[in-house]
Structure formats: C-alpha cells, structure tokens
A and B are shown apart, each in its own frame.
Chain A
Amino acid sequence: MSTPDGFLLVLMLTAPVVGLLIAFVLGGRNAERVALLTMPVGLIIAVTIAVALWRSDAALVYVLGGWAPPLGIVLRADGLSAAMLVTVAVVICATGLFARAEFRTPEAVPEARAPFSFWILLLSVWAAMNMVFLGGDLFNLYVALELLTFAAVPLVCLDGRAETFRAALRYLVFALFGSLLYLLGVALLYGAYGTLDIAMLAAVVRPEPVTWVAGALMTVGLLAKTALFPLHLWLPPAHAGAPAPASAVLSALVVKGSFFILVRLWFDVMPAVPGEAGAQLLGALGAAAILVSSVVALRQARLKLLIAYSTLAQIGYLFLMFPLAFDTGSGQLVSGVALTGGMLQAISHATAKAAMFMTAGLMYQALGHDRIAELGGVARALPMTVFAFGLAGVSLIGLPPSGGFLAKWLLLTAAVGGGQWWWVAVILIGGLLSAGYIFKVLAQAVGAPNVALTLRAPVPRHREAIALVLALLSVLLGLVALGPIDLLQIARPGLALVHSQ
C-alpha cells in the first residue's frame, strides 16, 4: 500500500524528467533556464521527503499504477534514500549555478552544442540518480543504471578532443560490461524466486548456489561501474578529462549510483548470502583501493588527475563498511554504525569532491594549466578558491569536525568494537596518505611563484563562493552527529526484521 506522502516520490522522479523534456523541445538558451528552474523545485521536493520521513519515522512507499508487486513496481524511500536524495539535489543545484559561466549559449547563435547537451545531460543524471535511490525493483534499477551511464558518458567528452572521446569510450565499454553482468544476476534471481521486488526478495532469498552466482555477477558488474580496484582503470582519464562542472557531477555523484545499488543488494536483498568471507573480500579490495590509489595520487603532476585518483581512494573507504557491518553472531550484514559511517562517507565525499573539482576548474581557468608544480602564488591570486580546496581536503583527510572525520570515526568505532584492528590501520594510513597529497597541492599553492603569475582570465567571485559553500557543507557535515544523522537509520530496522525471518 502507498503511504500518504508517497506521491512525493513520484514528483521527485518526474521533476527532472519533465524538465529535460521541456528543455529539449525549447532548446537554445531556454535549456539552461529550464534546468535552473527545475533545480530549486527538485531540491524542495527532496527536502520535503526527508522531513516527511523524519516525521513519520517509517519508509515512504508508492505503488506505481496501483499494481502491487510482484507484478508491479513500487517506489520506496528509507533513510538512506532520503539522505542521498538531498545530497544529490544540493550538489546538482550547486553545479548548475557553477556551470552557468562555462555553459552559456553564445550571443551569436540560437543554440550551441556543449551548453544544450550539458544542461539536458545534467538533468538526466539527476533523474537517474533519483530513480536509483527510490527504485524498489531490481530491473527498474537496471534501467536507471543505464540512464545514468548514457547521461554520464557524453559528459566526459563534451570538449570534443580525441583523448576525451577515448576516455569516454573506455568508460562506456566498462559500464556496459557491468550492466550486462548485473542483468544476468537479475535473470537468475527472477528464475529462482519469481520476483524482483527488493522487499519481497529479501523475505525469500536463501544462501544457495543460484543466489551466490547471481550475487557474484551483480556485485562484479556494480564494482566495475563504481570503479573499485582492480576495475578502476577507466575512471582517472574520464573524470580528469571532463569539463570541471561535469567532473564534479561524475566524481561526486555518478559513481555513487552503482554503489548505492550494491548497498541495496548486500544489505537489503541478501544480507545473509555473502557471508564473512564475501564481506572481508570487499573490504580488502577497498583497502587496496585506498592504499594503491592514494600512492598513485601522490605521484601525479596534474591537479585534475590527482583529484581523480583521490576519488578512487575515497571510493575504497566506502567498501570498508561491508566487513565492519558483518555480524558474526547472526551471520549477516546489519544496518548499524558501520552502515551509517559508510553512507556518511559517500555524502561528505560527494560535497567535498564536487567542491574540489570546481576549485581545480577555477585554477585551470585562471592559469591555463593544472600542473601542480607551477601552482606557486595561486593562493595569493585566488585566496577563496585555495581556501575552498583546503576545506574540501580537510574533509577528505578526515580532520574534525568534518563529515569525513565523523564518517571515519564511525568506521573506526565499528572496527574497534568488532575487534577488526586491521581496518583501523588501513583507515589511519589512508588518512595520512590523503593528507600527503592534499598538502602537496596546498604547499605549492601558498608558496612563492617560480615565475611571475599572470591570470589568463578573471575568476568570478560567485563561482569561487559556490565551491566554498560546498566545501563548508562538507566540513560542517560532522555536526549532523548532533541529531540529523539518525535520518540514515529511519525505516532500516524494519527491513532488518524481515530478513531475520
């Protein structure tokens, strides 16, 4: 049955879709206008959903067309969905405001390629992400994943250079490989249990060979899309080559889409299936991602590539929550401190990384390059930008009171509580390494210039301010510990009860 506030989920889903259809028909400068009008509407709906969830303390559900599962499809929002919906809406709005200067249709023409494509693709990324967070059906999530891929790939190569075409094609090949593996798992699960509804599956799934095969295929497919080590090679050229606003969206949001479905799969569909070995394996891959990618990031000469490798390392942290959420007593993954910590890491990384790519874009615009060794003096020329970069870095390193700090603190708590001390070492070493690559950039930026610094283009204040606001958000996110953090766990124990049956 739909809950009274359930229609909000339909509005959340359709708002960006309606926006992109109108933007496509009107075209030209109107595409930007429609996109910018859609953004506050979507943000308001997302916040309303979070408030409604907070008040009702139970999942919002909407049965589409009145056809109940297993025949029909439901939309369902729990605490994880609501938190991610709000995060994505905030980052999309900020990116939209930030991108105006870069993707403005020139006066001379009625419509230009890059702006038209960017605004529509941005709305499609948003629509796809919302579907990922709200979808209660595994095949429906597949369609959402494909929408996300088709919107994200062209964003990589909006500048039309051969290198970015190549990066985009590599990305597409990886993503298509991933979605077919996911789809294989969907076929097997339907064959074995006769439903694709997440809640219904959760009640009937058993740890048996067909579930293991399906789970393994879907997991590998989603890992390829999330760029977890060792399936990560496509990400750095794609994220570093895209225009700054596109990089912000790709790195902050798009990789979280497939990650979110993985969380749904492991925590909600089959918490008892992977077992301790599976959870430890995912954690080990995450640890490898943290250590390897941080070291590679340290050795980068280009700022955007450094940030892209930092994304790979930060994705690694997301996977530490799987072994930490594993309860040896019941033999399954439980929604607890580790899940909260992991999701908080996803949220604070989203805001921090978007801010960081924006600052990198601003420095590139001002200097005409992003070579780290030649950043000297940029802190004096663009103090607000470098300050924003530093704040975002604070959250990535995990210094208090940032969201990154709270996330890592929760993960550490879970590790110590569960006696899994080896993850403590990984988290601490990872923090040191990220401090290393952030300070490498900052040290250059505040240092004296090797040659007299000339700014190629003025940097508008409001663009610096947008990056700063996002970075501040990421730092202040640690304060959610005072209350709002409980949002993440709303409607979670209910699902857990279903699983224990």
Chain B
Amino acid sequence: MSWTLALEAGLAALVLGVAVWTLSVRQTFAAVVAFVVYGLALTLVWVRLSALDVALTEAAIGSGLTGVLLLGAAARLRATEADAVAERPGAGVRAAAAALAALVALALAAAVLYLPEPAHTLAPAAMAELPATGMRNAVTGVLMAYRAADTLLEKVVVLISLIGVWSLAQDKLWGGRPGLLHHADPDGALAFLARRLPPVGIVAGIYIAWLGADQPGGAFPGGTIIAAMWLLAMMAGVTDAPPISRRWLRLVLVAGPAVFLAVGFSGFFTAGAFLAYPVAYAKALIVVIEVGMVLTIAATLGLLMAGPPERSDKP
C-alpha cells in the first residue's frame, strides 16, 4: 500500500465516521456540525479526485452555505426534537430500512467495481473543442458552452426556488424584508469583522470567478463568497436585507439568466445556433454572461439564506 493510498484510506474512514456521527448523534444541532465536517472532508476527497472546481463548490455551497442554513434551522427547531423521538419507527421498520439501504449500497458498489475498462471519457473531446470557446478550464467550457443549456436552466431553477421560498411568506408581510432583524453590538467583534472583511472577500470572490476561465474557480464559488460577505454584513446588523419588492433587486436577480438568454439568442444570428458563440468573441461573451451570473448568484444565494419576508417594509 502506497503512502498516498493510506492517506486516502484515512480520509475515507474520516468521511464515513463523520457520516455515521451525523446520522446517529441525538441532537440535531450536533448533527449539523458533523455535517459541516463531512462537507469539508469531502472537499479533500474532491481534491484527491483531481476535481478542484468541484472541491471549491463543495466547500462553498455543499458544506458552507448548506451548513449555515441548517444550523439556523436547528436552532429555531430545537423545541420540536423531543416530539420526534416519540415518532421513531419500531425495530422492524428500522431493520427493513437497513436491509434496503444495504441492498442499494451493495448493488452500487458492485456496479462501480464492474464499470468497463478502459473507462469511457469525454476528456479528449472536451479538450479538442476547448479553443473554440476561448476558455482554458475544461470544466468551465462544459458549463458555459457544451452544456450551456443545463447551466441556463439551473439559473432558472435557483430563481424559482427563491420565488418558492418567498411564496411561503405571510400575506401581510409580502413586499417586506427577508429574515429576522439581527441585533448586534455595533462596536462588537462581529460588526468589526463585517466592516473589515467584505472588501477583501468581494475582491477574492471576483478574482475566483474571473480565474474560472483558465483555472479552477468560476461563477459559483466566486458568487458564493460574495453572498457570504453580504450575509455577514446582514448578520452583524451593518446592512439590512432589501425589501423584496424593490425593482433593482429583481433586476439583479434575473440578470444572470437574462444575459445568458440574450447571448444565446444572439447566437442564432452570429454563430448559427441558439447558445452558440462566434469563435472570435467566445471568451468576451462568456465573460459578459459570467459577470451577470456572479451578480445573480451572489444575490440569490444570499436571499435564499435570508428566507421569506418576515418584517414589514413600513417602519
């Protein structure tokens, strides 16, 4: 057994152990903490799998944002945990569920072990076409060119989930500000961080998004960092969430998909197909789309975290 494989086995054991802990620990809050560790350990697995773009996204969204979201929910739902214990299914149901889960895991393990050799791959095809997209990061090439339709549709999915979240508001609060009002000591440590960190964080977010064309990075991790800065400022009370009825806010929220669609339609005339880019302008056009996307991702993720309007806009 080589050193790296031993290291990876240790990593796999850590992921597995943390997963079991997430499922078995009694308190939900502790389970969420374990889940955040799970996400971070998975991030390392992604690095070992040479998927740095995925590692960045996993750390930012899979572990970071999801973790914060679930921590907040666990804190607000602490009172309901005792009732749930009484609803725990009996031993028979648990055994059946365990058997079913084990069956699925076994079938998957067998399927993975017997995948064909040599493996099918689109890596050569993706690299061969990459010059036509102006990108040097193949993953960005897939996301923004070859499978641009997925990315465009997923922008709509995220927007619709935000509208879904808003639609759960109380009628009288419609048009108000999302989330609860955060009271923090204006001279406290959090407020200090919320004033000092965002300039650095926003620059870092833009840098990572810009880097995505050529190196691991891209609009998602970049936008997530900017969203995190916004959330930090909101939590520290340095800034407040805008009322959801603001026109500028809605324009920011549709900027990504709208620019994407507009460039896509222009492809009909300039490159002969919807979502096609003329080779000479491919990079410029993708950068234009990414600017819109970073803006929209940051705003949408931030507002998804903030939740439905919970305060009237009127003082």
Direct A–B contact present (CB less than 8 angstroms): yes
Q: Is the CB of A72 within 8 A of B146?
A: yes
Given A111-B175, A143-B153, A194-B120, A117-B163 contact (CB < 8 Å): yes
- Cβ contacts under 8 Å, B108 to chain A: 184, 188, 213
CA distance A113 to B312 in the complex (A): 13
CA distance A111 to B125 in the complex (A): 50
Shortest Cβ distance from B166 into A: residue: A117
CA distance A131 to B150 in the complex (A): 11
Residue A469 CB within 8 A of the other chain: no
- Cβ contacts under 8 Å, A113 to chain B: 166-167, 169, 171, 174
Q: Is the CB of A121 within 8 A of B150?
A: no
Q: Is the CB of A27 within 8 A of B245?
A: yes
Residue B258 CB within 8 A of the other chain: yes
Residue A50 CB within 8 A of the other chain: no
Residue A203 CB within 8 A of the other chain: no
Q: Is the CB of B146 within 8 A of A67?
A: yes
CA distance A399 to B265 in the complex (A): 47
Write the nearest CB–CB distance from B55 to chain A, whole angstroms: 18
Residue A193 CB within 8 A of the other chain: yes
Given A64-B273, A113-B171, A143-B153, A24-B163 contact (CB < 8 Å): yes
Q: How many chain A residues touch B (Cβ–Cβ < 8 Å)?
A: 62
Q: Is the CB of B274 within 8 A of A65?
A: yes
Given A27-B245, A72-B147, A114-B171, A7-B250 contact (CB < 8 Å): no
Which of B2-10, B26-34, B110-118, B220-228 lines the interface with chain A? Answer: B110-118
Write the nearest CB–CB distance from B108 to chain A, whole angstroms: 7
0/1 interface trace, chain A 190-202, chain B, CB 8 Å (1 if under): 1111110000000
Write the nearest CB–CB distance from B264 to chain A, whole angstroms: 8
Shortest Cβ distance from B129 into A: residue: A71
- Cβ contacts under 8 Å, B257 to chain A: 17, 21
- Cβ contacts under 8 Å, A44 to chain B: none
Q: Is the CB of B157 within 8 A of A112?
A: no
**Residue in B114, B145, B148, B164 whose beta carbon sits within 8 Å of that of A154 in the complex:** B164
**Residue in B116, B150, B247, B267 whose beta carbon sits within 8 Å of that of A73 in the complex:** B150
- Cβ contacts under 8 Å, A112 to chain B: 171, 174
Which of A145-153, A377-385, A415-423 lines the interface with chain B? Answer: A145-153
Q: Is the CB of A210 within 8 A of B175?
A: no
CA distance A14 to B148 in the complex (A): 14
Q: Is the CB of B125 within 8 A of A209?
A: no
Residue A127 CB within 8 A of the other chain: yes
Q: Is the CB of B157 within 8 A of A147?
A: yes
Shortest Cβ distance from A204 into B: residue: B120
Residue A139 CB within 8 A of the other chain: yes
Residue A25 CB within 8 A of the other chain: yes
User: Which among A7, A116, A214 has the highest number of chain B CB atoms within 10 Å?
Assistant: A116
Shortest Cβ distance from A172 into B: residue: B164
Q: Is the CB of A64 within 8 A of B111?
A: no
Write the nearest CB–CB distance from A65 to chain B, whole angstroms: 4
Q: Is the CB of B145 within 8 A of A65?
A: yes
- Cβ contacts under 8 Å, A216 to chain B: 107
Q: Is the CB of A64 within 8 A of B274?
A: yes
**Residue in B150, B171, B250, B272 whose beta carbon sits within 8 Å of that of A25 in the complex:** B250
- Cβ contacts under 8 Å, B120 to chain A: 190-195
- Cβ contacts under 8 Å, B154 to chain A: 143
Residue A140 CB within 8 A of the other chain: yes
Residue A472 CB within 8 A of the other chain: no
Q: Is the CB of B145 within 8 A of A67?
A: yes
Given A17-B261, A71-B125, A65-B253 contact (CB < 8 Å): no
Residue A312 CB within 8 A of the other chain: no
Shortest Cβ distance from B120 into A: residue: A194
Residue B213 CB within 8 A of the other chain: no
**Residue in A27, A66, A146 whose beta carbon sits within 8 Å of that of B250 in the complex:** A27
Write the nearest CB–CB distance from A45 to chain B, whole angstroms: 14
Given A64-B148, A117-B163, A214-B111, A24-B254 contact (CB < 8 Å): yes
**Residue in B107, B145, B156, B274 whose beta carbon sits within 8 Å of that of A10 in the complex:** B274
Q: Is the CB of A2 within 8 A of B261?
A: no
- Cβ contacts under 8 Å, A64 to chain B: 148-149, 273-275
Interface residues of A in 208-247 (CB under 8 A from B): 209-210, 213-214, 216-217
Shortest Cβ distance from A147 into B: residue: B157
- Cβ contacts under 8 Å, A157 to chain B: 168
Write the nearest CB–CB distance from B309 to chain A, whole angstroms: 9
CA distance A116 to B168 in the complex (A): 12
Write the nearest CB–CB distance from B81 to chain A, whole angstroms: 17
Q: Is the CB of A71 within 8 A of B122?
A: yes
0/1 interface trace, chain A 469-491, chain B, CB 8 Å (1 if under): 00000000000000000000000
- Cβ contacts under 8 Å, B150 to chain A: 73, 139-140, 143
Q: Is the CB of A150 within 8 A of B171?
A: no
6 closest A-B pairs by CB: A194-B120, A117-B167, A65-B275, A154-B164, A113-B174, A66-B273
- Beyond A24-B159, A27-B250, A154-B168: 5 further Cβ-contacts under 8 Å? A21-B261, A113-B166, A113-B171, A117-B167, A209-B110
